[in-house]
Amino acid sequence: MDQLLEQLTNGLAVGSIYALIALGYTMVYGVLKLINFAHGDLFTYGAYLGLTLLTSLLAHDRMGLGLRLLLLAVMVMGLVAVIGVVVERAAYRPLRDSPRLSAVVSALGASIFLQNALMLLYGARYQVYPDVLPQNAVRLGDLSIPVVRIAVVAVSVVMMTVLYLFVQKTRIGTAIRAAAIDQGAARLMGIDVNKVVVLVFVIGPALGGAAGLLVGLYYGQIGFTMGWTYGMKAFTAAILGGIGNIPGAMVGGLLLGVIEALGAAYLSVAWKDALAFAVLILILIVRPSGLLGERVAEKV
Amino acid sequence: MKKSIAALALGLVSLAARADNVKIGLLAPITGSWASEGQEMKKNVELLVDEVNAKGGVAGKQVQLVIEDDGGDPRTASLAAQRLATQGVVAVVGTYGSAVTEATQNIFDEAGIVQVANGSTAVRLTEKGLKNFLRTCPRDDEQGRVGAALLEKMGAKKIALLHDSSAYSKGLADEINALLKAKKMNVVFFDALTPKEQDYSAILTRLKAAGPDVVFFTGYYPEAGLLLKQKKQMGWKVPFIGGDAINNPDLVKIAGKEAAEGFLFLSPPVPKDLDTPEAKAYVASYQKKYGEAPQSIYGVLAGDGFRVVAASIQATGSTTSGEKIRAGLGALKDFPGFTGKIAFNAKGDRIGELYRVYKVDANGNFVLQK
């Protein structure tokens, strides 16, 4: 029983990171029907920029730690958003009217470029964040949960909720949803689709960058290839929840994390990924459009 | 027309100049997740090539180093090996990971190129009867013996073995498992983690439930660092032991000094513990050129690989025949390598015990255990 509870908290912590990254995949797919393979690398950029900025912020001890971390998060999200917009402008927009395959290949190219650029800038070694977060844990009976882990889940949930409300309740959010349903019709209604696309490439990468920062702060070790593993998992989470669907990405991420943890606990550690992907296949057989995805007729 | 003749002439001149060189290949993970090891391999070998060339080269010819990147990936490596084979190298130094080396062995063997691996410790690499394959690093069965002996000496009653499914890591874990079983020792956990993840809390929770007195992790340092760090966050105090792939100072950076303290690992001696005069002079010249001492023993082992190849070419006088160079390597006796005396047996394995036990102290230093 104790192991079950502990594994659930383990799974939720990993899952909330997957969910944050999955949002970037799902939003871009929703609007452009493009799988942004460079998204995992934008997440890595968030982690590296976070480390660079954190080092200089730590030198300013007149601000409280909380304020500094908030400032850090805002800067990292802003910078990664800028990179995201540049990637869209350079690698995707010129191919907007080309066959979809060209854009996917371009996305893979952008991913390889970003990853190797990062290696050349920072070197191939793993980088390590300084320990800035409190190390204490909350005790619940026999269960001890590190405070940081609770914070990671809380921060992710808050960001996801804000995004959900933004997309559902604001005018701009409505424009994003309209562009996702039908770009041509949205344009006829006076929506500037290009602006919507840019906005999607601001929000998605910003959340991905925030996830990178969280991973850096929480786990401490970052490497220039980490975007690949997280990207794959987050992409899976997005499909699991129904790609193109924002709450779906959140549910998919959390679910994937929990399945992995439980697989490691009760099946075999080595088989946890196999189990997670088996669940994905089963869900796709039963619901081809994902858990929360809507069945949309393919346009001919 | 004139221009093209001039170009042709130039081409011939440069071809003639090149024919005076002896080409030696370096296959290393310059990119990918072992890039830090690969880049050190490159630094070590480049430095030594410069030194050899400054002294007039080998067998009267200048050494031309041809570097190919294997990306730490078997598929990339087989392509890189084919490129090396078509570029006329007589010998290749490298590479690091066992699975990666395995993908290149047959390509070099068929091309008659001598391959001297520097970090690939999987047993089966030298059990295939390949004539042209050698290695400067020891084998996992030796490491397994040292590891099992250490576990026995510690008086462990319940042992957990954790690997990462790679050829090296699984091979070493199997080796230790078999030895422990033979000694009727109790292995309570045997499983694999997925490398390159960040969160190993699910695995640690599972491990803890198995209740071992000691955990032997046979994987690489990035995962080991995270395991140690997350183990400490969980408040679990079981001792951890690791294999030679954990020998990298970044381990302490990743885990933090407190979490790394007391961690034991097996390894060939680290660069700072190399005590021969040659090794000391070499570390000093490396420091002078790159501004830091070599960090990874595998980089130094790649350097030793290049030096034995150069010595064999010098001794046999052959710059074209892989067969003669292989024979020359087999004939080496007590070659003064940086990592100790080097000689090879008929299989191409290095002769002599290389493994030591290291412990991480409170300041994060790797201390040789006598």
Average pLDDT over all residues of chain B: 89
Query: Given this model, what pLDDT does residue A297 score?
Result: 44
Beta strands (DSSP E) in chain A are: 127-128, 137-140, 143-146, 221-222
Mind telling me how many Å the CA of B111 is from chain A's nearest CA? Answer: 32
Chain B positions in Cβ-Cβ contact with residue A133 (cut-off 8 Å): none
Q: What confidence tens digit (pLDDT) does each residue in A3-50 have?
A: 888 899 999 999 999 999 999 999 999 898 899 999 999 999 999 999
Query: Given this model, what pLDDT does residue A43 score?
Result: 97
Mind telling me how many Å the CA of A90 is from chain B's nearest CA? Answer: 25
User: Average of pLDDT values for A174-193?
Assistant: 92
Q: Searching chain A, which residue's CA lies closest to the CA of residue B163?
A: A270
Chain A, chain B: beta-carbon pairs less than 8 Å apart: 98
Domain boundaries of chain B, sorted by first residue: 2-138+274-342, 141-267
The percent of residues in chain B predicted with pLDDT above 70, rounded, is: 95
Per-residue pLDDT band for A300 (boundaries 50, 70, 90) equals very low
Whether residue B265 contacts residue B237, with contact meaning beta carbons closer than 8 Å, is answered with: no
Q: What confidence tens digit (pLDDT) does each residue in B129-152 have?
A: 999 999 999 888 889 999 999 999
Picking from B32, B206, B254, the nearest residue to A269 by CB comes out as B206
Highest mean pLDDT among A39-53, B14-28, B292-306: A39-53
pLDDT at residue A292 tops 60: yes
Q: Searching chain A, which residue's CA lies closest to the CA of residue B165?
A: A270
Q: Would you tell me which CATH number, out of the four given (1.20.1530.20, 3.40.50.2300, 3.40.50.300, 3.40.50.620), belongs to the domain B2-138+274-342? A: 3.40.50.2300
User: Average of pLDDT values for B212-239?
Assistant: 92
Q: What confidence tens digit (pLDDT) does each residue in A223-280 have?
A: 998 998 899 999 999 999 998 888 999 999 999 999 999 988 888 888 888 888 888 8
Both tokens of B70, joined, read 């294997």
Average pLDDT over all residues of chain A: 90
Q: Searching chain B, which residue's CA lies closest to the CA of residue A12?
A: B202
Query: Given this model, what pLDDT does residue B6 score?
Result: 55
Fold agreement (B2-138+274-342, B141-267): yes
Query: Given this model, what pLDDT does residue B174 score?
Result: 93
**What domains can you pick out in chain A, each with its CATH number?**
2-129+144-286 (1.10.3470)
Could you tell me which residues of chain B have a Cβ less than 8 Å from any Cβ in chain A? 31-33, 35-36, 38-39, 162, 165, 191-194, 196-199, 201-203, 205-206, 209, 222, 225-226, 229, 233-235, 250, 253-254, 256
Q: What confidence tens digit (pLDDT) does each residue in A113-157 have?
A: 999 999 899 987 788 998 888 877 787 777 778 888 899 999 999
Whether residue B71 contacts residue B32, with contact meaning beta carbons closer than 8 Å, is answered with: yes
pLDDT at residue B5 tops 90: no
Per-residue pLDDT band for B9 (boundaries 50, 70, 90) equals low
pLDDT at residue B214 tops 80: yes
Q: What confidence tens digit (pLDDT) does each residue in B52-111 have?
A: 999 999 988 999 999 999 999 999 999 999 999 999 999 999 899 999 999 999 999 999
Q: Do A124 and B31 touch (CB under 8 A)?
A: yes
Angle between helices A246-266 and A147-169 (to 10 degrees): 150
User: Average of pLDDT values for A180-186?
Assistant: 91
ipTM of the complex: 0.83
Query: Given this model, what pLDDT does residue B2 score?
Result: 54
Q: Which CATH class is domain B141-267?
A: alpha beta
Mind telling me how many Å the CA of A248 is from chain B's nearest CA? Answer: 23
